[in-house]
Structure 1
């Protein structure tokens, strides 16, 4: 593990990064060519790579990915400086001021005795700052649907719109599942009302995400772990079938289940 640097060493390292960014922007053809727009998709990719490292609990990789994201932040700030719009100092100062405003229980006289109170204060202050007409106005439109559902529910809870206990939420889950079942409980597939069934399935997912929040489970993280578990087991199945001289496409489901159950033991 790397040693923990002193504050002066941290500032020196950041200064070195800023100097390198200046040099690259001036001397490197690729770096000179980049714009805020061209960096956008790369930043998204780097964020997902950091997410992978976190899920893998690989701190060395987390360190590397944080470096990549920090480079992007410095890069955006450099372009902002060239445009006369902002620089890294104004970005940091703006962040510092926001943190102070949104933590009145630390820098003011507001009381917040637990993390839930802090989150509610944060959302209320954020709503006032942005001047949104809706509490949900600050949820990015392009968020993946599952994460968006989590943020919508968290923001609604921030102003007191929420269930009182998890039993109520589970009743809602069962209600939505029954409605979904009814939407698909027809004899002929062509008789299914696809639009209604799609809506009911969305309601099931939304209610399950709500319940996960009440029992302190991150549904996105839970689903990704299940994805990875399925990938591991399926790839084990592929490899086992190959070693047995078999082709998955020619195997019966019962034959594949033998290898699948073996994978579950590993």
Structure 2
């Protein structure tokens, strides 16, 4: 007996050769539900599928040596539990076969689908706009930074998920009236990464990380076509981060440390020279006091 597991994130009917061979050779093919797109594709291919027990039932499928059971779509746990329950002695043999596999990043499709459902059916989610979500985005950024500072990777994983949700949320709002969506967002960053890394995706050669950064900045300047090296710097960045960004764009500049602001600017310049991010350094120092 074989149990077939397929991914809900793969187009119906795109099964491995071993899966099709097993389905065609089976004395009978059974599934919990016939209206699943994968099952419908199998039926459309000329293979008879019999609907049996409900996927939510606790009943165990009866053992049939030449049968193929199609697990509830994507439910590997169900398949493993059934196989364990049936293989209670040496007279039964149950094999789990995978008809399709998730590729890396496939769970992002689940997030997009969940957000679509929320935007369609949740009153609160329906009311949100780019503006109403702005403070949530900022909070998630700071919480992600806090998790980085803590060194707690489980916390970081959680906060990255919350931050990713904000990205998908804004893209879903834009899809309704602004002419772009999450695929457009992904397409843009993919194109940017390929363009600005010719040492990976082209035939250029680099020998150090500094060369990579310099080439990135050069290509960015060509791409952006800015009139001033200060163009594009967000004015609302935290002051130390803003100072670091400005000094990075304009290079060496004389700073008179006569007042507190200028003295802080001198410290930021010294931090840059030492390879230290002033914003992060101050944040960690403050957190040490908490």
Q: Give the TM-score normalised by structure 2.
A: 0.61
Alignment of 1:1-266 (within 5 A): 8=102, 10-156=104-250, 161-162=251-252, 176-177=256-257, 180=258, 200-231=259-290
Shift of 1:30: 0.5
Shift of 1:10: 3.8
Q: Deviations over 1:2-42 (max 9, x none)?
A: xxxxx825433111111111110011000010111111111
Equivalent-residue separation in structure 1 for 2:161 and 2:240 (angstroms): 27
Q: Relative to total residues, which structure has the larger strand share, 1 or 2?
A: 2
Equivalent-residue separation in structure 2 for 1:81 and 1:67 (angstroms): 21
- 8 Å CA contact 1:43, 1:72 repeated in 2: yes
Structure 1: tracts of 5 or more residues without a match: 1-6, 164-171, 181-199, 232-266
Q: Which moved more, 1:141-150 or 1:214-223?
A: 214-223
Q: Relative to total residues, which structure has the larger helix share, 1 or 2?
A: 1
Shift of 1:52: 0.8
Shift of 1:44: 0.5
Shift of 1:109: 3.3
Give the count of matched residue pairs.
190
Structure 2: tracts of 5 or more residues without a match: 1-100
CA spacing shift, 1:11–1:219, aligned 2, 3 Å: closer
Q: Deviations over 1:77-136 (max 9, x none)?
A: 111111141111111011100011111222223333222222222222222212210111
Which has the higher relative contact order, 1 or 2, with Cα contacts under 8 A spaced 6 or more apart?
A: 2
Equivalent-residue separation in structure 2 for 1:11 and 1:114 (angstroms): 30
CA spacing shift, 1:14–1:58, aligned 2, 3 Å: same
Q: Give the TM-score normalised by structure 1.
A: 0.66
Q: Deviations over 1:224-255 (max 9, x none)?
A: 12212233xxxxxxxxxxxxxxxxxxxxxxxx
